[in-house]
């Protein structure tokens, strides 16, 4: 079971089990914010929050790439091969993309509130 799909999913589940409830709460809050934006009267300029969310996701991706080896009790010096670097970069990009997607509705709400105050 070490290299089967079931084995990999079991390891991922054990890794994420302590944070599954907080992740679910954040995702539900994010979906609620997105639904509130979508059904709010007056429309929404959907593209306004894309660039700030992408920038925030990029910054978080870079930080995740630098911190990722520490999550496994390793250091950047322990990354010796191309596969090590590709795995860390993929992990960082995944975290950055997820963060950008999760931050988008909040940034959109903040931009809408700012525009309503000044406009």
> 31-73 pLDDT, tens per residue?
998 888 888 776 667 788 899 999 999 999 999 999 988 887 8
Q: What residues does each domain of the chain span? A: 20-118
Which position has the token pair 């079971």? Answer: 1
- The greatest distance separating any two alpha carbons of the chain, rounded to the nearest whole angstrom, comes to 60
> Model pTM?
0.75
CB-facing half-sphere around the CA of 86: CA atoms within 13 A: 3
Q: What sign results for the dihedral spanned by CA atoms 45, 50, 55, 56? A: positive
d(CA 52, CA 66): 21
d(CA 38, CA 100): 18
């Amino acid at each position: 079971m070490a290299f089967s799909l079931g084995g990999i999913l079991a390891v991922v589940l054990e890794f994420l089990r302590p944070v599954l409830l907080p992740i679910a709460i954040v995702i539900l809050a994010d979906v609620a914010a997105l639904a509130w934006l979508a059904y709010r009267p007056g429309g929404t300029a959907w593209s306004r929050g894309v660039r700030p969310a992408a920038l925030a996701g990029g910054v978080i991706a870079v930080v995740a790439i630098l911190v990722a080896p520490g999550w496994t009790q390793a250091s950047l010096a322990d990354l010796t091969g191309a596969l090590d670097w590709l795995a860390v970069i993929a992990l960082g990009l995944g975290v950055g993309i997820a963060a950008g997607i999760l931050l988008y509705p909040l940034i959109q709400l903040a931009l809408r509130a700012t525009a309503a105050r000044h406009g």
